[in-house]
Structure 1
Amino acid sequence: MTTRDSYGHFHADEALAVYLLRLLPTYASSPLVRTRDPAQLEECHTVVDVGGVYDAAINRYDHHQRTFSTSFPKHETKLSSAGLVYMHFGRAIIAQHMSLPEDHADVDLLYEKLYTDFIEAIDANDNGISAYDPAALSAANLEKRFKDGGPQDEDSLFGRASTLIGNVFARKLHQACNSWMPARTTVGNAYKSRADAHSSGRILILPQGGVPWKEHLYNFEQEAAAAGAEQVYYVLYPESAAEDSKWRVQCVSESEGSFVSRKPLPEAWRGVRDQDLDGVMATEAEKSGQEKLPAGAIFVHASGFIGGHKTKEGAMAMAIRSLDL
């Protein structure tokens, strides 16, 4: 493998590109030569970030040539060497990690997710796309506080940098496989069966707590939007795995980054706890002529975004009543 020469500064993209290649058996023990010498480049099996050629058929992955404009499928950011290597080898890396064939749907899903969540930022940085609005930074009068360090052993630093940024990728891959994907399956099953929980389709019940559900719910809703599916208002889940666990009813926010709930729990309940909350609910039911809710309410947050009950049935009753109020 070859990357840029040891007399020039290196960037995050080639450090990550080398790490990604080394995850595969073909490159696991390959020697690394850092050079721009054309004669040496000709002798190399794979060349990354130098050489002025992008041609996967001969394992050349440079992106500095004026004519280069390649981007990852369905993205607009021009690729760096990290993105190039990931585009061609990412599926193989993920498939190897998951012990799945490269054309498996789960591999495709993570291939897109890891690019969006991590690799694209490396591509953007290498192509001079700021993570922050330059005008906003200028208006805030922010300046760099410290100078870069003096000359150091570039080859040694490159190896350390490659391992450092590669470990970030490895952690993201591990988290995606062992947490994100199982959560997606759990939320997906709950989303498909939500009409069984309540005919409105607006209440989703998770079988366990601690499931990161928000991203997945919004994704499933987006996929179902064309069919005119109703948005989910409330998500129910147990606080623990204990048989007698208390249950939470959490409001779905308008968007993943929003603190505004689509339909908060009723105002009269907010900031009230325990017996007082049971009392408020009982008075409300009596005035409206509705059935009294099960006793055992625990709390409703002052903003109305979440509440709790001692039982699943009670939490469900809180959610159903909230739909009508």
Structure 2
Amino acid sequence: MLRTSLKMADHAAKKLKTSHISIGTHNGHFHADEALAVYMLRLLPTYTSAELIRTRDLALLETCQIVVDVGGIYDASINRYDHHQRTFDTVFPGRPTKLSSAGLVYMHFGKQIIAQQLGKSEDAQEVEVIWNKVYENFIEAVDANDNGISVYDPKGIAAAGLEKRFRDGGNSLGAMVSRLNPNWNDSSPSDPIEAQGAEDAKFEVASTRMGEEFLRDLEYFTKAWLPARAIVHTAYAKRFEYDSSGRTLVFAGQSVPWKDHLYDLESQSKGAGEVVYVLYPERQTSDSKWRIQAVPVNKDSFESRKPLPEAWRGVRDDKLDEVTGIPGGVFVHAAGFIGGNNTFDGALSMAKKALEL
């Protein structure tokens, strides 16, 4: 056993000599948080070409320039980012969820990553906005999953007598990473160095997949969500031009990601009333058909604040015109959350009538 450990330590030491920068994390069963943490670090110039050392040997970890998810130390001044200590209770600013190694790395290096993406300084307002948004939208769930924190209070769920209608655990990113680990009965090389190399290769696949999802989220918020903010703000300011109560929001040029921005605006404008329907063209052409969409009660809900009238639901074309009394009807979804009309005037008339019913 000692000979095997010395052999692996010597092999790791030789690897370190080929790279002056190294990232350390634990070997064995890997998880989504350290897989993502390693990927995020590699987005930074300092660690782009860093050697990855997966071990629990503290002597080897001491040789690494940065260590995540192992070592029993959280100290940013020496680049140690473990969260398994009994006393660890660090959370992201303004959020309640205890951090994992992913959250720790993101909290300390996320602004640098975002600044690179936007081509701005780390103290730019846009960087701060995206830093918070990506944490809430993506990283926090990874932290919660690794720390065994449920989305809902288990006691509250039990008291309400609620049960899941189906199993959804296998659809999470954490489950995806777990499936990439070797199975208990998979064959493994007898040589410990080769066995560790095979395990490391699987970890690299997991890290890449987590990183791809992170980058998709980051690119959405920097390239689509952020540019949409000004458009939503303009439409929100003009909403009384179309509806005296301000309950109809119109995007005259094109549809953009609006839900997050709308909820933020409403929270900042307390007492101004809630938007009920959003109108937007299907295409950026003068002859485009128009959609009317009911605003959900929150971003992740299928429930609308005020669905389109029940009598309209599941009805199309001429029959829809007859039911609504408004020409140009295209359809209304059976669930009442969205509908369409051939013209803007028709869609606006549908919104006004739906508000009255």
Aligned pair partner of 2:285 in 242, 251, 264? 242
Does residue 256 of structure 1 match 2:329?
no
Partner of 1:14: 34
Does residue 174 of structure 1 match 2:219?
yes
Partner of 1:3: 24
Partner of 2:119: 99
CA pair 127-272 structure 1, distance change in 2 beyond 3 A = closer
Distance 2:35 2:200 in 1: 11
Residue segments in structure 2 that go unaligned for 5+ positions in a row: 1-21, 171-178, 189-194
Calculate the TM-score normalised by the size of structure 1.
0.82
Opposite residue 14 of structure 1, the aligned amino acid is: E
> Secondary structure in 2 aligned to 1:160?
helix
- How far apart are residue 191 of structure 1 and its match? 1.2
CA pair 142-307 structure 1, distance change in 2 beyond 3 A = closer
Partner of 2:228: 183
Aligned pair partner of 1:67 in 74, 87, 98? 87
Opposite residue 279 of structure 2, the aligned amino acid is: L
Distance 1:143 1:49 in 2: 23
Partner of 1:308: 340
Opposite residue 35 of structure 1, the aligned amino acid is: T
- The 8 Å contact of residues 39 and 208 in structure 2, kept in 1 or not, is answered as yes
RMSD: 3.2
Opposite residue 29 of structure 1, the aligned amino acid is: S
> Secondary structure in 2 aligned to 1:221?
helix
- The 8 Å contact of residues 310 and 336 in structure 2, kept in 1 or not, is answered as yes
- How far apart are residue 197 of structure 1 and its match? 2.8
> Deviation digits for residues 78-106 of structure 1, max 9, x if unmatched?
21111111110001101111111112222
CA pair 297-63 structure 1, distance change in 2 beyond 3 A = closer
Q: For residues 17-56 of structure 1, what are the structure 2 equivalents within 5 Å? A: 17-56=37-76
- The 8 Å contact of residues 54 and 60 in structure 1, kept in 2 or not, is answered as yes
Does residue 296 of structure 1 match 2:328?
yes
Opposite residue 229 of structure 1, the aligned amino acid is: A
Aligned pair partner of 1:125 in 145, 148, 156? 145
- How far apart are residue 298 of structure 1 and its match? 3.5
Calculate the TM-score normalised by the size of structure 2.
0.75
- How far apart are residue 148 of structure 1 and its match? 4.6
Distance 1:240 1:128 in 2: 44
- Number of residues paired by the alignment? 310
> Deviation digits for residues 215-237 of structure 1, max 9, x if unmatched?
33223222222xx1111122111
- Percent identity over the alignment is 55
Residue segments in structure 1 that go unaligned for 5+ positions in a row: 283-292
> Deviation digits for residues 83-133 of structure 1, max 9, x if unmatched?
111110001101111111112222112111211222122222222335686
- The 8 Å contact of residues 254 and 284 in structure 2, kept in 1 or not, is answered as yes
